[in-house]
Amino acid sequence: MNPTNKPRALKRSAQRTLQGTSQSTLVNTIACGFLTAGLVLYGPVYAQVPEATDEAKQRNVRDVKAESRQRVESFQLKESYQRTEDSKQAEEINLKASSAQQISDAAKQQNATQARSTATRQQVREQQPTSELGSAQQNTAKERDIATGEAQIKGSSAQDKENAAQAAENKAQAAESAADATVQQQATATQPSKRPLAPPRIPPSPITANLTTSAVPPLPVKAVIPSVTNANQNSNFEPNELVLVSADMAAAKQAASYLNRYGAQIKTRSALANLGLVMSVFRLPEGEDTLAIIRQIQTDLPSLQTDTNQRYQLQNSRKTYGASMVGWPQAPSCITQNALHVGVIDTPVNTAHPALLGANIQAKSFIKGEPASATHGTAVASILVGRVQAGFSGLLPQAQLTAAAVFRQRGEQVEATTDSLLLALDWLVQQQVSVINLSLGGERNRVLAQAIEQVLAKRIAIVAAAGNNGPQAEPVYPAAQAGVIAVTAVDAAGRLYDQANHGSYIEFAAPGVDIWAADNAQGGHYHTGTSFAAPYLTAALAVANIQQLQNQAQDKGPAGKDPQYGHGLLTMPPLCQ
């Protein structure tokens, strides 16, 4: 081959090599340019050495071909890299487009879901009771926040976002209008009454030990439910029941959320406005040890005022010497008896009994179940306000007596429960009595103790029977509670009743053995027990103060205050001096 034709052959060879590629026209042109430049550079070499040997010529040809192949391979590598980059960019573009579509679809689906949710909330709000009216406007504000949040959903374009925001705002306005309409409709349907509508819900306030301080400690991770024992057979409390008192309704609801951890379910809840308390009665799990569960709750949550729903018994066992024995004045002119107001918590009172006909008595029942016989309550009432004309020497026949009935008949047992006592106390405070007679007793109960503290704080005296369980018996409550005035019983000779409780909590002794008082029929009976000594001290505190009575008491037993007679036998001080 003529050396001058070799560059052309090499050029054609390079062009055939590049024909199989998919490079762009620009890349092919550049590659061919470089190849041509090489041939031009090397072409003169062949022209200037025509006399070179065949071997040298072949070597030169091989070198040129090798260098040309290297340059072509380099361009092919660059072309492949560029193709890969282009492919990646295309994939990213496709991925972004797909993501944008998915986001758009998700936004549409979420808008639909939120619309259904808004409709459901609207239906629920329309079914809310009147007590929830206060929270309707708060719910509207929340729905507006939710609707505004919906507008932040990412769309595939600025137009999608704008459309979503507009749709959300429309839903918020519709929800607000519907809420306003619901509130207006319920307010119109509600008939005016003396009781105001319930206020808006507020966050629960801290539950405290004294109902004002010391926040409740955190709950254990898992509440421990004690194993079953035969403790529920104890007849001194309502089985499977727990009583709680709280400072307000918010605290009561917060406490309920804690007690649910122990399986306690709310049974009843009462606002004792006059005591400044809220009482809640809970049902505990069936078959569990009531005492053990309550003790566990008191250990885990000592700041909660919880206890059993205690049962209390009448303090009676079965002459007109009583009034004369204590030196009771006969209708002193300096006392306007019709201005006196005494409260009693007992069995029902038979106001139709001849001893009570014409007496100023207001009665109300807080009994759960079958009412007990009216014998005990009628007897106590006759000692306080009985008519002398009917043969019963009432100590304050012209005074107003407000009687709360709490005792029920359960088989052979006559008993009252903690919750009924709290309801009765709250009512008596509302009636503005000056002294309350409690001819009853039982075990100590933290809930009842809290309620009694609230009563005493209002400067209302509480008199309680000391108990008829014998000299070695445990103290009886509420007589043994600080602030309560406990009274024991003596007979006509001043001898201590042999079944009376002894203890440092005894304050006074009063007639309580063979006391003539009304029964539940038309006549009367002789009654014995510390229950019937209590009304004497109650009447005395209605017309005199505790300091006067302590100073005037007739010392009995060991000198000074003692566990049998307290300060001594009740003796009335001169009232008109």
- Distances 318 to 18, 297, 309, 362, 519 between C-alpha atoms, Å: 129, 40, 28, 26, 11
pTM above 0.75, yes or no: no
Please check whether residues 271 and 324 belong to one and the same domain: no
pLDDT tens for 389-445 read: 788 878 998 899 999 999 999 998 999 999 999 999 999 999 999 999 999 999 999
- Residue where one domain finishes, among candidates 303, 334, 350: 303
Tell me which of 141 and 368 has the higher pLDDT: 368
Which has the minimum average pLDDT: 232-246, 483-497, 560-574? 232-246
Return the closest-CA partner of residue 39 out of 9, 72, 59.
Answer: 9
Is 195 within a domain?
A: no
- Residue where one domain finishes, among candidates 303, 334, 349: 303
Please check whether residues 84 and 137 belong to one and the same domain: yes
Spatial separation of the C-alpha atoms in residues 62 and 46, rounded to whole Å: 13
* pLDDT, position 523: 87
pLDDT tens for 326-366 read: 888 766 556 666 689 999 999 999 999 999 999 999 999 99
Please identify which residue in the block is written with the tokens 């507009």: 166
| Sign of the CA dihedral with 370 first, then 374, 376, and 377 last | positive
Please check whether residues 298 and 319 belong to one and the same domain: no
**With helix as H, strand as E and coil as C, how does 10-70 read?**
HHHHHHHHHHCCCCCHHHHHHHHHHHHHHHHHHHHHHHHCCCCCHHHHHHHHHHHHHHHHH
What is the rounded average pLDDT of the residues 16-35? 46
Task: For residue 448, count other CB atoms closer than 10 A to its CB.
Answer: 27
Please check whether residues 148 and 272 belong to one and the same domain: no
3-class secondary structure, 397: coil
pLDDT tens for 479-489 read: 999 999 999 99
**With helix as H, strand as E and coil as C, how does 406-423 read?**
CCEEECCEEEEEHHHHHH
Please check whether residues 436 and 383 belong to one and the same domain: yes
Contacts of 500 (CB under 8 A, 6+ apart): 466, 467, 468, 470, 471, 488, 489, 512, 530, 564
Is 207 within a domain?
A: no
Is 6 within a domain?
A: yes
* pLDDT, position 499: 95
Is position 382 annotated as part of the catalytic site?
A: no
pLDDT tens for 369-391 read: 999 999 999 999 999 999 877 88
Please check whether residues 323 and 371 belong to one and the same domain: yes
Return the closest-CA partner of residue 441 out of 393, 397, 400, 489.
Answer: 489
To the nearest whole number, what is the mean pLDDT of the chain? 75
Please check whether residues 473 and 370 belong to one and the same domain: yes
| CATH number of domain containing 245 | 3.10.28
Beta strands in 201-264 (DSSP E): 237-246
pLDDT tens for 435-446 read: 999 999 999 999
* pLDDT, position 12: 58
pLDDT tens for 181-214 read: 443 444 444 343 333 333 333 333 333 333 333 3
Return the closest-CA partner of residue 241 out of 311, 346, 312, 345.
Answer: 311
Please check whether residues 383 and 527 belong to one and the same domain: yes
3-class secondary structure, 564: coil
Please check whether residues 338 and 478 belong to one and the same domain: yes
* pLDDT, position 392: 83
Whether 484 contacts 352, CB under 8 Å? no
Q: In the predicted model, is pLDDT for residue 574 greater than 80?
A: yes
Q: In the predicted model, is pLDDT for residue 507 greater than 70?
A: yes
Is 49 within a domain?
A: yes
Is position 346 annotated as part of the catalytic site?
A: yes
Return the closest-CA partner of residue 254 out of 289, 295, 219, 210.
Answer: 219
Q: Which residues pair with 526 in a beta bridge?
A: 516
Backbone φ and ψ of 266, nearest 5°: -60, 135
| CATH number of domain containing 438 | 3.40.50.200
Please identify which residue in the block is written with the tokens 């000299």: 471
Please check whether residues 299 and 318 belong to one and the same domain: no
- Residue where one domain finishes, among candidates 138, 158, 190: 190
Please check whether residues 144 and 14 belong to one and the same domain: yes
Please check whether residues 496 and 356 belong to one and the same domain: yes
Is 217 within a domain?
A: no
Q: How many domains does the chain have?
A: 3
3-class secondary structure, 265: strand
Name the token pair of 211: 């109902």
Q: Give the active site residue among 289, 307, 346, 426.
A: 346
Is 51 within a domain?
A: yes
Q: Give the active site residue among 341, 353, 376, 527.
A: 376
Is 558 within a domain?
A: no
Task: For residue 388, count other CB atoms closer than 10 A to its CB.
Answer: 12
Is 16 within a domain?
A: yes
3-class secondary structure, 102: helix
Whether 384 contacts 396, CB under 8 Å? yes
Is position 376 annotated as part of the catalytic site?
A: yes
Helix (H) or strand (E) holding 187: helix 158-189
pLDDT tens for 256-288 read: 998 998 999 999 999 999 999 999 999 999 888
Q: Which residues pair with 281 in a beta bridge?
A: 243, 268
Domain that holds residue 490: 314-552
What is the rounded average pLDDT of the residues 99-119? 61
